[in-house]
Chains A and B, each alone.
Chain A
Amino acid sequence: MALFSMLGTAVKSLLRKPATRLYPFEKRQPFERSRGNLVNHVESCIFCGVCQLKCPSKAITVVRAEKTWTFDRLRCIVCGRCVEVCPKKCLEMKNDHAAPIGPVKADSVIVQKGPAPEAQTPPAQQ
């Protein structure tokens, strides 16, 4: 039986640099595949609604007629299914976590509208 067998490890960890990071001065670099938060590039979105169908936690609501894409950040489980099935590849899973929301819970719901249709140019007069 050994006595004080932890002494060696304890002295070594005193003399080495600490295993922890000095956050927030030194931030952790996320990995390439990390699932952080979902972002929609709404300029290319066609509001087909496939992401709404495939979401397991019903975090996305798409209204095609009004061209709105609503996303409840707090319901999202960051699984990435919507990114896989999007036909236009406009949904992107960023690898860093989004900033925390403020005290109002409704701030967690993000509503994005599609670009307004271009004004009709009158046909050139002969």
Chain B
Amino acid sequence: MKQTIVPLGPQHPVLPEPLSFDLVLEDEKVVDAIPSIGFVHRGLELLAPKRDFEEYVYVAERICGICSFMHGMGYCQAVEEVINLQLPRRANQLRTMLCELSRIHSHLLWLGLAADAFGFENLFMHSWRLREKVLDLFEEMTGGRVIFSIAKVGGLRKDISTETIRRASKVLRDMLPEIKEICDVFLNDASVKHRLCGVAVMSAENAHKLGAVGPMLRGSGVAKDLRVSGYASYGELQWEIITEKDGDCYARCAVRVREIYQSIDMIRQLAEKLEDGPVDTKVLAAPKGETFMRLEQPRGEVVYYVRGNGTRFLERFRVRTPTFANVPAVVTLLKGHELADIPTILLTIDPCISCMER
């Protein structure tokens, strides 16, 4: 059987960001896939020793556009742990609420891109129409649609009034029938199921061995979610880890859909439990020491490593983003599938290439 090598990307109408694969095909079946990354490498980790640690938040936020707030918050939490700073309760609750809103936004964005990957443009447009309402909420609360610039070392830069939070929670709950209408198409429609069921099956043992994180892991039945460790205000909320057994693209889609509903419920709980008080504390010391901070981003587990030596400039800042951990999984999953399934498989890891390459 003759083999052809087809290059996919980096510029491709299906992929949202530049990621290149050299596919070795035998008659439309993929035999091997060799990834190429590095098209948006900006060298942000090397910038950390050159910027004042309080100003580096603005760089950390810009590692990615979709997970922007959680990068800023993860950096701030890591530095706060090194300095040993205790945040007031309201700051933690507001940060948690913005995290969950980011998660809803990211999953709605992913649903749209996944629909676009298998050619369902109408569904893509409707998912993004719902996402616009969430972006309006962000702009009303923080001043920016994509990059919020509201997190700082020591808390938040501005307070968000309790009345705005309660109204946001109500807007989300009023959106629920529309979200349910769109997500029912993803989960029940015959043509969508035909494209998603049985594609790229990954067993729980393989997921563990390949180092997959996030919905890739939870879609294969492994119940692991970093929010269990109780950072920020997650310890006060009632929620449970969402898993699915099958391990195929449909299972991962179902995990993300159910996470949207769960996040809306978490925001409702936070809006009821919101306490009054200050939203920041003064930062009096420069970081000296090292720590690891792990958060649960919409795409999976993210690890921040911060090391400071007592001056205003950090010695080392390292981010291991979830897409970086999921790429070996997708390289293994591509083998044995048809050419037409490739966009679906690439998008099932929820690739965020600018995060991956910092």
Contact = CB atoms under 8 A, between A and B. Distances in A.
Q: Do chains A and B touch in the complex (CB under 8 A)?
A: yes
Interface of A: 1-3, 5-6, 8-10, 13, 19, 30-35, 56-57, 77-80, 84
A31 B149 contact: no
B51 interface: yes
B184 A5 contact: yes
Contacts of B144: 34-35, 78
21 contacts: A2-B188, A6-B120, A6-B122, A9-B122, A9-B126, A10-B122, A13-B126, A19-B129, A30-B139, A31-B140, A31-B143, A33-B139, A33-B141, A33-B142, A33-B158, A34-B139, A77-B149, A79-B149, A80-B149, A80-B157, A84-B157
A80 B126 contact: no
A78 B146 CA distance: 13
Nearest to A20: B129
Q: Is the interface of A mostly helix, strand, loop or mixed?
A: loop
A9 B144 CA distance: 30
Nearest to B190: A1
A77 B58 CA distance: 9
Given A19-B129, A80-B149, A56 B142 contact: no
Contacts of B136: 31
Interface in B92-127: 120, 122-123, 126
B143 A1 contact: no
B149 A6 contact: no
Nearest to B164: A33
A1 B188 contact: yes
In the complex, the 8 A-B pairs of residues with the closest C-beta atoms, listed nearest first? A33-B143, A1-B190, A56-B55, A35-B143, A5-B189, A79-B149, A31-B140, A2-B188
Given A2-B189, A3-B189, A6-B185, 18 more contacts: A1-B189, A1-B193, A2-B190, A3-B190, A5-B184, A5-B189, A6-B123, A9-B182, A19-B132, A31-B136, A31-B143, A33-B143, A33-B158, A35-B149, A56-B51, A77-B149, A78-B144, A78-B149
B163 interface: no
Contacts of A32: 140
B115 to A, nearest CB: 10
Nearest to A93: B143
Nearest to A79: B149
Contacts of B240: none
A78 B144 CA distance: 9
B185 A5 contact: yes
A30 B132 CA distance: 14
B188 A5 contact: yes
